[in-house]
């Protein structure tokens, strides 16, 4: 037992050992949530409060599920030869449940559509989206995730202020045709699996009890990314029972565009009832400078930012602007060569360049290659080898096809998607003999598809970087129009862009570069408003000590004979209240020196505060400061002898 708890901090230990009732854990970036989740499962088994075979742990990616299984095996849970927990994605869990139910009933398991792009193209007919099937499928998947029928799609788009690739009425008709084609061809897609299991459990009480008896202890990872359909499956399996352990981070909810609804996580304590809410604020990944920069971005959403740096410091954050996107791309290469001498013999093994959109990749890749910096093929080869290994574990043709369909539907990993496409190529070859994962592996070997891995810089989108980390990260294109992205119209979408910036910044462990262009093509850029005033370093202990000393001096200042507060007192109170509402330390709003300068000002407009706060912040805080500094008969002169 002591071995399970060794090395955990106080908050992690509380999460692992809390009573077996409804528990929601807010796990900040880099806080060791996977460790806590797996140790919690192991602790429940070790204390006899749960049997491994009655545990269901749901994740959002196969990679996360595989990592959880490996860690559990390392803790002696589900090791070879022993009964272990069921660990899988929502889709994998639904497929297993449906397959078992239909087998028990003597019915055929439905075929999963193998080529969704072709089906979407057929559904689109002569519409221009027939040439862009992935755009159409994204809308269909969003509707499935939100449990929206074709007839209700257009109204839902309007209600959610969703940016769509074609008129909503057109997409609704193509969506209707897509559903009709599935029915005609007797195939289902992955979201149909979830909907079918939910429906069966709602309409068959005996079946629901069987599922709930089997899965008596429910664990969910990355719960902030649940969409309504996944939440419905979670609710059906839970069945009102309190034995659930849910982990998530509201600040990393970045899949609203794909149907996720973070409010499901936010309101979960109310739904569960008598819920224990715990927090894991300690960030063990990022240097204090990087944590401070990430906090600066995240606080603009107005949401609580529970993240604290606990590791040693690293170099300051470097914010670098360029005239054009082309100069930015070449400048990134120069920044990485300046970083390389500090990174040891293999400088590129833990470096990433993160971009908001795939459109940025080509120019950066070209300049990195020109500068002799390896990218893409090295990491891609390793990932392809790993993905082929996953596919090789499939024991039948149907399992192999299901894995590929699952991957194309939910994975954002380009290597996995490439291997999934190769699986369908392999299946269409009409191979003789047994067709399964091992046969596919042999086919890839015969065709020299798997290559030796070499180190190189990872170049991928912010979304694709979630869940990963690097020693050095370049966050590129941090500018207006890209961050927040121009498609973010609604207030919720704009807040999601802030969270996306937070996710990108917290991928860096030691060195963080943030770059932007003043002009990108014909569009004006400039530094993103989300990063305006980005601090290059966290306040040092000396800075904090000076702030405390200045506060002590202010406290010792004499009051007026009437006992009324001075202007400096009022400004200090204003700063304290603003810091509290923004979840910041007072010095993060402005320094004591800034307060002294403000107290001596006689401003006539909010623009007068720009020299202290910058233009954007001045616009936000200026009206309150004008009111404080306005001349009024009850306010004394602040010049104290």
DSSP letters for 590-623:
--HHHHHHHHT---SSGGGGHHHH-HHHHHHHHH
pLDDT of residue 305: 86
pLDDT of residue 640: 31
pLDDT of residue 452: 46
Q: Is the peptide bond before 70 cis (omega within 30 degrees of 0)?
A: no
Q: Report, as an integer, the average pLDDT of 168-172.
A: 96
Residue 538 has pLDDT above 70, yes or no: no
Best CA proximity match to 457, nearest among 358, 370, 377, 362: 377
**Tokens coding 604:** 């006539």
Residue 109 has pLDDT above 90, yes or no: no
Best CA proximity match to 377, nearest among 462, 459, 471, 445: 459
Residues across the chain: 641
Contacts of 597 (CB under 8 A, 6+ apart): 612
Instruction: Give the chain's mean pLDDT.
Output: 84
pLDDT of residue 329: 94
Of 44-53, 579-588, 625-634, the range with the highest mean pLDDT is 44-53
Whole-angstrom distance, CA of residue 177 vs CA of residue 472: 47
Whole-angstrom distance, CA of residue 212 vs CA of residue 236: 9
Residue 173 has pLDDT above 90, yes or no: yes
Percent of the chain with pLDDT over 90: 44
Exposure of 14 in the CB half-sphere (CA atoms within 13 A):
14
Comparison of pLDDT for 581 and 145, the residue scoring more: 145
Comparison of pLDDT for 46 and 569, the residue scoring more: 46
* pLDDT tens-digit readout, 368-405: 999 999 886 544 455 677 788 888 888 888 888 888 87
* pLDDT tens-digit readout, 297-317: 998 888 888 898 888 888 899
Which run of H or of E encompasses 311?
A: none
Residue 326 has pLDDT above 90, yes or no: yes
| DSSP letter (8 states) at residue 347 | T
Lowest pLDDT segment from 138-147, 481-490, 541-550: 541-550
Beta strands in 68-144 (DSSP E): 86-89, 111-112
pLDDT of residue 551: 52
pLDDT band at 127 (very low <50, low <70, confident <90, very high): very high
pLDDT band at 407 (very low <50, low <70, confident <90, very high): confident
| DSSP letter (8 states) at residue 533 | T
* pLDDT tens-digit readout, 598-619: 887 878 888 888 777 777 777 8
pLDDT band at 561 (very low <50, low <70, confident <90, very high): very low
Contacts of 264 (CB under 8 A, 6+ apart): 223, 226, 227, 228, 231
Percent of the chain with pLDDT over 70: 87
Whole-angstrom distance, CA of residue 507 vs CA of residue 468: 6
pLDDT of residue 462: 92
Whole-angstrom distance, CA of residue 308 vs CA of residue 35: 18
pLDDT of residue 82: 60
pLDDT of residue 60: 84
Instruction: Name beta bridge partners: 482.
Output: 485
pLDDT of residue 312: 84
| DSSP letter (8 states) at residue 106 | T
Whole-angstrom distance, CA of residue 249 vs CA of residue 266: 10
Best CA proximity match to 252, nearest among 35, 523, 502, 434: 502
Backbone region of residue 222 per phi and psi (left: phi > 0; alpha: psi in -120 to 50; beta: other values): left
* pLDDT tens-digit readout, 446-484: 665 555 445 789 999 999 888 889 999 999 999 988 988
CB 520 within 8 A of CB 479: yes
Comparison of pLDDT for 231 and 451, the residue scoring more: 231
CB 500 within 8 A of CB 297: no
Contacts of 32 (CB under 8 A, 6+ apart): 12, 280, 282, 284
Q: Report, as an integer, the average pLDDT of 339-362.
A: 87
pLDDT of residue 74: 87
CA dihedral 586, 592, 596, 599 (to 10 degrees): 10
Best CA proximity match to 244, nearest among 56, 470, 485, 514: 56
pLDDT band at 636 (very low <50, low <70, confident <90, very high): very low
* Backbone dihedral angles phi then psi of residue 166, each to the nearest 5 degrees: -160, 165
Best CA proximity match to 283, nearest among 16, 37, 508: 508
pLDDT of residue 531: 87
Whole-angstrom distance, CA of residue 203 vs CA of residue 533: 56
pLDDT band at 45 (very low <50, low <70, confident <90, very high): very high
Q: Computed from CA positions of residues 390, 393, 398, 400, in that sequence, does the dihedral angle turn out positive or negative? A: positive
Whole-angstrom distance, CA of residue 134 vs CA of residue 3: 48
pLDDT band at 558 (very low <50, low <70, confident <90, very high): very low
Whole-angstrom distance, CA of residue 310 vs CA of residue 640: 41
Q: Report, as an integer, the average pLDDT of 213-226.
A: 95
CB 23 within 8 A of CB 278: yes
pLDDT band at 631 (very low <50, low <70, confident <90, very high): very low
Whole-angstrom distance, CA of residue 169 vs CA of residue 613: 47
pLDDT of residue 565: 65
Whole-angstrom distance, CA of residue 346 vs CA of residue 108: 53
| DSSP letter (8 states) at residue 565 | P
The separation between the first and the last C-alpha atoms of the chain, rounded to the nearest angstrom, is 65
Contacts of 34 (CB under 8 A, 6+ apart): 64, 67, 68, 71, 221
Q: Report, as an integer, the average pLDDT of 111-133.
A: 90
pLDDT of residue 554: 47
- Sheet of 276-280: strand order equals 86-89, 55-59, 217-220, 244-248, 23-27, 276-280
* pLDDT tens-digit readout, 243-292: 999 999 999 998 888 888 989 999 999 999 889 999 999 999 999 999 99
| DSSP letter (8 states) at residue 113 | P
How many other β-carbons are positioned within 10 Å of the β-carbon of residue 67?
A: 16
CB 252 within 8 A of CB 26: no
pLDDT of residue 341: 86
Best CA proximity match to 14, nearest among 30, 29, 31: 31
Whole-angstrom distance, CA of residue 459 vs CA of residue 481: 20
Best CA proximity match to 309, nearest among 506, 514, 16: 506
Q: Is the peptide bond before 484 cis (omega within 30 degrees of 0)?
A: yes
Contacts of 131 (CB under 8 A, 6+ apart): none
pLDDT of residue 177: 97
**Tokens coding 460:** 């991928």
pLDDT of residue 212: 96
| DSSP letter (8 states) at residue 375 | B
Whole-angstrom distance, CA of residue 620 vs CA of residue 630: 17
Comparison of pLDDT for 376 and 165, the residue scoring more: 165
Q: Report, as an integer, the average pLDDT of 405-410.
A: 72
**Tokens coding 433:** 């003999």
pTM of the full predicted structure? 0.73
CB 218 within 8 A of CB 56: yes
CB 260 within 8 A of CB 6: no
């Amino acid at each position: 037992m002591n071995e399970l708890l060794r090395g955990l901090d106080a908050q992690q230990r509380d999460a692992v050992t809390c009573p077996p009732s409804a528990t929601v854990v807010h796990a900040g970036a880099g806080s060791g949530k996977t460790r806590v989740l797996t140790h919690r499962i192991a602790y429940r088994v070790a204390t006899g409060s749960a049997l491994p075979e009655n545990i269901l742990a749901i994740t959002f990616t196969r990679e996360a599920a595989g990592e959880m299984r490996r860690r559990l095996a390392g803790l002696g849970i589900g090791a070879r030869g022993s009964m272990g927990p069921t660990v899988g994605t929502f889709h994998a869990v639904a497929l297993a449940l449906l397959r078992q139910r239909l087998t028990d009933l003597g019915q055929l398991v439905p075929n999963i559509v193998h080529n969704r792009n072709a089906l979407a193209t057929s559904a689109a007919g002569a519409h221009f989206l027939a040439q862009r099937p992935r755009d159409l499928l994204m809308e269909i998947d969003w509707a499935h995730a939100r449990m929206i029928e074709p007839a209700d799609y257009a109204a839902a788009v309007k209600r959610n202020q969703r940016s769509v690739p074609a008129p909503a009425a057109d997409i609704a008709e193509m969506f209707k045709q897509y559903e009709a084609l599935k029915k005609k061809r007797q195939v289902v897609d992955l979201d149909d699996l979830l909907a079918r299991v939910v429906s069966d459990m709602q309409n068959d009480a005996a079946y629901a009890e069987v599922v709930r008896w089997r899965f008596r202890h429910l664990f969910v990872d990355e719960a902030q990314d649940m969409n309504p359909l996944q939440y419905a499956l979670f609710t059906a399996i839970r069945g009102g029972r309190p034995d659930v352990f849910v982990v998530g981070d509201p600040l990393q909810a970045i899949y609203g565009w794909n149907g996720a609804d973070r409010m499901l996580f936010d309101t979960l304590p109310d739904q569960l009832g008598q819920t224990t809410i715990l927090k894991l604020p300690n960030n063990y990944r990022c240097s204090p400078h990087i944590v401070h920069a990430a906090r600066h971005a995240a606080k603009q959403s107005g949401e609580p930012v529970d993240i604290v740096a606990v590791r040693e410091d690293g170099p300051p954050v470097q914010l670098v602007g360029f005239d054009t996107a082309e100069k930015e791309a070449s400048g990134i290469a120069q920044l990485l060569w300046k970083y390389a001498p500090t990174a040891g013999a293999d400088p590129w093994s833990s470096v990433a360049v993160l971009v908001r959109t795939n459109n940025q990749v080509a120019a950066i890749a070209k300049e990195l290659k020109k500068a002799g910096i390896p990218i893409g093929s090295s990491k891609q080869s390793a990932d392809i080898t790993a993905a082929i290994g996953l596919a090789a574990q499939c024991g039948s043709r149907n399992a192999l096809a299901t894995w590929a369909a699952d991957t194309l539907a939910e994975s954002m990993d380009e290597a996995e998607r490439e291997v999934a496409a190769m699986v369908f190529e392999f299946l269409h070859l009409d191979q003789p003999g047994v067709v399964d994962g091992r046969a596919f592996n042999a086919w890839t070997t015969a065709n020299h598809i798997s290559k030796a891995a070499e180190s190189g810089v990872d170049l991928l989108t912010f979304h694709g970087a979630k869940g990963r980390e690097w020693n050095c990260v370049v966050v590129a294109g941090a500018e207006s129009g890209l961050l927040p992205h121009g498609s973010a119209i609604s207030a919720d979408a704009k807040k999601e862009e802030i969270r996306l910036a937070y996710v990108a910044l917290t991928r860096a462990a030691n060195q963080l570069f943030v770059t932007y262009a003043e002009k990108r093509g014909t569009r004006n850029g400039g530094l993103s408003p989300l990063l305006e005033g980005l601090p290059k370093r966290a306040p040092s202990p000396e800075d904090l000590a000076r702030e405390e000393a200045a506060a002590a001096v202010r406290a010792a200042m004499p009051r007026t004979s009437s006992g009324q507060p001075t202007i400096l007192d009022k400004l200090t109170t204003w700063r304290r209240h603003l810091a509290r509402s923004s979840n910041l330390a007072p010095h993060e709003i402005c320094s004591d020196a800034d307060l002294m300068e403000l107290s001596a000002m006689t401003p006539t407009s909010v623009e007068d505060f720009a020299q202290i706060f910058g233009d954007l912040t001045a616009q936000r805080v200026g009206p309150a400061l004008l009111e404080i500094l306005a001349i009024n008969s009850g306010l004394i002169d602040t010049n104290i002898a």
